[in-house]
């Protein structure tokens, strides 16, 4: 099975998105395109996604609300049949994530639901600042167990927590953000690894954004593929 690479299209500029897609093709990897809140909320973002029938799309909305509202949000995008992945927050609790999984299965059998655990922008210090008393590892383990119980398709987590998730489930996909090339700036990320390290640790897919999309896309993408070869 080909390793998955999710290219983060974090922009409101459709012309730039088309350029990203144009210069990130590979026969060796399963290339997908991740659209988050920035693009989806933009004036023409949703419309663009709806028209990309042949594009493998990861819709990173991180749904997190009371169960009824979260399910209503899911139903509001059920016309987007080309979505391959959708993220929800594990913080939403078992009832929310279970209900979303059930409704998603009815709306679109091909749609995979991924639970986002602790964001890669957090470290031990910042996670305590928002009220958590447990360490990140413990939180991710607990959230992953909820995802497994709800029969979700996968987890989004830092590569640093992959080994713990592997012990919980052998079936769930593990998608890893917080990816940076060697000697690259971390920016707002904290728990970071290189693409190769993520796959070696057991990730089934990685999310790559600025490392590819900032600057010369074609050159950056070639560098990424060379790094993974």
- Residues known to be catalytic: 62
Backbone torsion region of residue 123, taken as left when φ is above 0, otherwise alpha when ψ lies between -120 and 50, otherwise beta:
beta
Token couple for 202: 């057991």
Phi, psi of 155 (to 5 degrees): -130, 145
Rounded to whole angstroms, the maximal C-alpha distance in the chain is 46
Alpha helices in 57-194 (DSSP H): 67-76, 94-107, 124-129, 136-149, 162-168
Contact indicator for 116, 62 with CB cutoff of 8 Å: yes
**Rounded to the nearest 10 degrees, how much is the dihedral formed by the CA atoms of 57, 62, 68, 69?**
-100
User: What are the C-alpha distances in Å from 47 to residues 36, 43, 132, 185?
Assistant: 14, 9, 38, 33
């Amino acid at each position: 099975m080909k390793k998955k690479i999710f290219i983060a299209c974090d922009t409101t500029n459709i012309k730039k998105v088309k350029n990203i897609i144009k210069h990130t093709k590979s026969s060796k990897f399963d290339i997908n395109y991740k659209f988050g809140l920035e693009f989806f909320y933009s004036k023409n973002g949703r419309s663009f996604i709806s028209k990309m029938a042949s594009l493998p799309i990861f819709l990173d909305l991180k749904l997190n609300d009371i169960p009824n509202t979260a399910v209503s949000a899911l139903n509001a995008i059920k016309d987007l049949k080309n979505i391959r992945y959708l993220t929800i927050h594990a913080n939403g609790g078992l009832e929310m994530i279970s209900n979303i999984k059930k409704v998603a299965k009815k709306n679109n059998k091909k749609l995979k639901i991924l639970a986002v655990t602790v964001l890669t922008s957090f470290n031990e210090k910042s996670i305590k600042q928002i009220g958590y008393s447990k360490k990140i590892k413990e939180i991710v383990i607990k959230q992953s167990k909820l995802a497994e119980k709800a029969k979700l398709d996968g987890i989004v987590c830092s590569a640093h927590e992959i080994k713990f998730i592997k012990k919980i489930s052998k079936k769930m996909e593990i998608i890893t953000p917080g990816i940076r090339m060697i000697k690259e700036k971390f920016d707002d990320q904290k728990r970071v690894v290189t693409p190769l390290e993520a796959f070696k640790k057991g990730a089934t897919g990685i999310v790559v954004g600025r490392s590819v999309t900032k600057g010369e896309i074609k050159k950056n993408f070639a560098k990424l593929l060379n790094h993974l070869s």
